[in-house]
Structures are given as structure tokens and as C-alpha cells.
Chains A and B, each alone.
Chain A
Amino acid sequence: MLDIFTYNAHFLLLGQYPNGPIGGLALTLILALLGLAFAVPLSLLLALCRVSPYRVLSVPSTVLVYIVRGVPLVMLVFWSYFLVPELIGHLVSAFTTLVVTLVIYQAAYLSEIVRAGIESLPKGQTESARSLGMSYGSTMRHVVFPQALYNMLPSILSQCISTVKDTSIGYVISVQELTFSAQQINASLLTKPFQVFLILALVYFAVCYTLTRCVQGVEQRISRRRATGKMSNVRSIINDSVLQS
């Protein structure tokens, strides 16, 4: 098994990179990063729309989130594969299709996490900010978001890790990412499917498990900071107890 890995390591990790398009694990990571780079801002916007008092904003964003949460990722990939060229008028690569899908999919899930973070903050936070004369926008920007995002950081980060796993769906539209590369190696070797796919699983595991451990570190740090009360930028719990006493 080790010889299969060493022999195909370059293809699995970088694709045909110096002599051809980048692929393999590198492309998987690029896809995930690119997807997140757009999904995170979009998710903040979606969350803001969902908690907004205006129905014009809250209803469509809620509908969008429920649709994305209720339909399989594969189905969404097929939808973008078909709709994106129709909407912009020219053909796009499978890579772009996948990025668009990942952005919408992850933005919906991330916005749910952000919304939960916002809603779990005590009402007093918004009320006191407003009574201090801050506008709605500046309350959100300076009081609500910093606390909600900090509290939800572990969940947000684990959702980011699942983006790495979700890129594997690129296989069905022939994006040259890790899973597709493994399938190509399997097709050329023919007789060693177990070894090839075990290597595939282990590569994903190595990447995602490392990231998971980092997130767990962040989580512990946050709960430690809460426990000792040394919170430089988050005082929600302290303030809450003060307000409720």
C-alpha cells in the first residue's frame, strides 16, 4: 500500500501541477478556501437578514436557508451546473460551478450558526446599546456580532472543516480534486481498489483530523477564558448576571 502511495503521491497531492492543471489535495484545499472566502461574508449577510425586523429581508433569506438545508448537495451541484450558464449567458468550468455551489451551501449552514449565536445573546445587550444611542447598524457591528461570532467560533470552524469534506462532491462533475484523482489512480491500477480508497480516506483523515484538533484547541481556550472570567472582548456572561441580579 505504501508503494502505491509513494508512486502516486504527486498526482494525489498536486495533480499534474507543474506540467498541467493543479489537482488532487491541493485543488481540494483551494476549493475549500475559495468557497469559504465567499461563504463567510455571505453568511453574515444572510444572518443579518434573518434577524432583521423587515419581512422583506427576513422571509426570502429564511426561505433560501430552508431550501438549501432541505436539498442534497449533489442536487444543488446539478442545479448550478445547469443554471449558472443560463443565468450568466456563457459556459463555466466545473470548478466554478462547484465553488458557487459550495458558497451557497456553506453560507446557508454558517448563517444558521451565526443566527443562533445572535439569538442566544441576552436581549439586554441590544437594548442597552440602543439606549446608549447607538444605531441599529452600529449595535450590530460593535456589540452583537463580535460577541455572537466569538461564542460561535468553534461551531463556525467545524462547519469550515466540513467544507473540505464537501469538496469531494466535485467528483460527480469531474472536478480534478482529491476524490476524482483517487478514482483515476484506481482506474489505472484496476486491481487495488481497497488500497487506493483507503489511502484516499487516510489523506482526508489526516487533513480534517488535524483541523478538528485545532478547533478543539480553540474551543478549550474559549471555555477556559469563560471559566476564569478573563475575557478581554466578550463580557456577555458577566454583563448578563449583572443585569439579571
Chain B
Amino acid sequence: MLLHLDFASIFAAPNVKHLLWGVQYTALLTLTSWVLAVALGTVMATLRAMGNPFIERLVAGYVAYHQNVPMLAQLFLWYFGFPTLLPEGAQGWINTHGSEFIFASIAIGLCMAAYYSEDIRSGLRAVSAGQHEAARSLGLSFTKSMRYVILPQSFRIAMPPFINHTVVLFKNTSLAMAIGVAELTYTVRDIENQTFRTFEIYLVGTVIYLAVSLSLMGVGAAVTRHTRIPAK
């Protein structure tokens, strides 16, 4: 198997183009779901900090659901299940416009939002209550004290798990292949089916994933070192 490796046929022009499309889709999917996840995660963590028991229960339920159901099941529910709840016209539009990418972004984004909100929440809890009280006594509103005093500190404290979950999010975009998003894993499988150079193409795909993951971890470690709040 390993005696005659043939990377030349893998790196033939149409395959490279194909592969780059896959990389592009993975990057795009990572970006859209990351933005959704971070935004929603921050909002949920903030809402939970407001101390309204009803909202607290609601967010806790959201987090519990998304952390205890496999992402693949969530993808299926969004992609196969959700459109059937829509009116017929919308369903037709979705069917003709290729909705895999949108639903993959939503499913991955909403799922990872639960993890990010927990990261930020633990960051929020690590900021002492005195900080909040001081900000409020200085006349800042709840939103402003959150925005300028509490959240910046919690983000810095929550940085390590935050980076970790970003790597997880990037890796989990590969699940979108199950609903037919033509991202990197899907493309790798496709090229494998065409060329039968299994080892070579898997190696190329793995190296790409590994390079991005390790870079994310490396950048993450640097950012963590930079933003770490020094011990007093």
C-alpha cells in the first residue's frame, strides 16, 4: 500500500481546484457558525447574569439540550426536520436554493453557542461581585458596566476554554458532510471515489485539518498569554 504513493494524480489540476473549494467551504462554514455561536453565547451568558429566574431556567435548558444531544442529530433536525414546519412556498424556495450550508451554519452555531455561553458564564462568575458593584456605583448602567467592566475581564479569564471550543467548532464543521455540504471532508471523500488514491488524499485532508487546528491552538496560546490577567 505504501510502496507506490502517487501524489501526482491527487494534485492534478481538477482535484486541486476541487480541494480548494472544499477548504473554502470549511472556512466559510467555520466563520458563519463561529460568529453566530459567539454572538449568541455572549448574549445568553449576559442574560443569565441578570438574575431573572425565568430567563435563567430558559438559558440553562437551552444549554442542557445543546450539550446533551450529538451535533449530528441537531444537524439532521435542522436540515431534514425544520423545513417541513415552514409554509409550502418557503419549502419550495429552500429546496431549489440549496439550504445545506445555511442549516449547517445554524445547527453548528446554535450548538456551539451553548458551549461558549458556559465558557463566558464561568468567566463572569470569576469576576468578583465588587467589580460590578463598583461599576454600578460609578453610575454605569447594567449594560454599560457589562460592556466596559465585566465582559472584557470575563473574556480574558474565559480565553483558554474559548480557544478550545473554537478548535472543536472548526473540527465539527466536518459533520456537515452528512447533510451534503461540500466542505473539506466531503471533498476528500469525493476525490477518493474518483481517484482511489485513498491514503494520499486522506493524508492531504488530514494535514490541512491538522495545520489549521494546530495554528488555532498556537494563536490561541499566544492570545491567552497576552490577555491573561496577571496574579496580584
Q: Report which A residues bind B (CB closer than 8 A).
A: 66-67, 69-75, 78-79, 82, 86, 161, 165-166, 168-169, 171-172, 179, 182-183, 186, 191-198, 200-201, 204-205, 208-209, 212
Contact = CB atoms under 8 A, between A and B. Distances in A.
B202 interface: yes
B198 interface: yes
B142 interface: no
A198 B73 CA distance: 8
B82 interface: yes
Contacts of A72: 171-175, 185, 209
Interface in B71-96: 71-74, 76-77, 80-82, 84-85
Contact of B68 (A69, A75, A196, A208): A208
B209 A165 contact: no
B70 A166 contact: yes
Nearest to A192: B84
A188 to B, nearest CB: 14
Given A72-B185, A166-B70, A194 B85 contact: yes
21 contacts: A71-B171, A71-B210, A71-B213, A72-B175, A78-B189, A82-B199, A82-B202, A165-B71, A171-B72, A179-B70, A179-B73, A186-B80, A194-B84, A197-B76, A198-B77, A200-B73, A200-B76, A204-B68, A205-B68, A205-B69, A208-B69
Interface of B: 1, 64-65, 67-74, 76-77, 80-82, 84-85, 167, 171-175, 177-178, 185, 188-189, 198-199, 202, 205-206, 209-210, 213-214, 217
Contacts, number: 115
Nearest to A78: B202
B149 to A, nearest CB: 29
Given A75-B206, A171-B72, A193 B81 contact: yes
Residue in B205, B206, B217 with the greatest tally of chain A CB atoms within 10 Å: B206
Given A72-B173, A192-B84, A193-B84, 16 more contacts: A69-B167, A70-B213, A71-B213, A78-B189, A82-B199, A165-B68, A191-B84, A193-B81, A194-B77, A194-B85, A197-B81, A198-B81, A201-B74, A205-B65, A205-B68, A208-B69
Contacts of A195: 81
Contact of B72 (A179, A192, A205, A209): A179
Contacts of A204: 68-70, 73
B26 to A, nearest CB: 10
A179 B178 CA distance: 12
A186 B72 CA distance: 15
B73 A75 contact: no
Contacts of A198: 77, 81
B80 A209 contact: no
A182 B202 contact: no
Nearest to A204: B69
A60 to B, nearest CB: 16
Nearest to A186: B80
Contact of A165 (B65, B70, B206, B210): B70
A171 B73 CA distance: 10
Contacts of A193: 76, 80-81, 84
Given A74-B175, A82-B198, A198-B81, A69 B70 contact: no
A198 B188 CA distance: 30
Given A71-B206, A209-B64, A194 B82 contact: yes
A192 B76 CA distance: 12
Contacts of B69: 165, 201, 204-205, 208
Contacts of B72: 168-169, 171, 179
A200 B77 contact: yes
A195 B77 CA distance: 9
Residue in A79, A197, A198, A209 with the greatest tally of chain B CB atoms within 10 Å: A197
B171 A73 contact: yes
Contacts of B185: 72, 74-75, 78
B171 A67 contact: no
Contacts of A165: 68-71
Nearest to A200: B73
Contacts of A209: 64, 68
Contacts of B76: 179, 182-183, 193, 197, 200
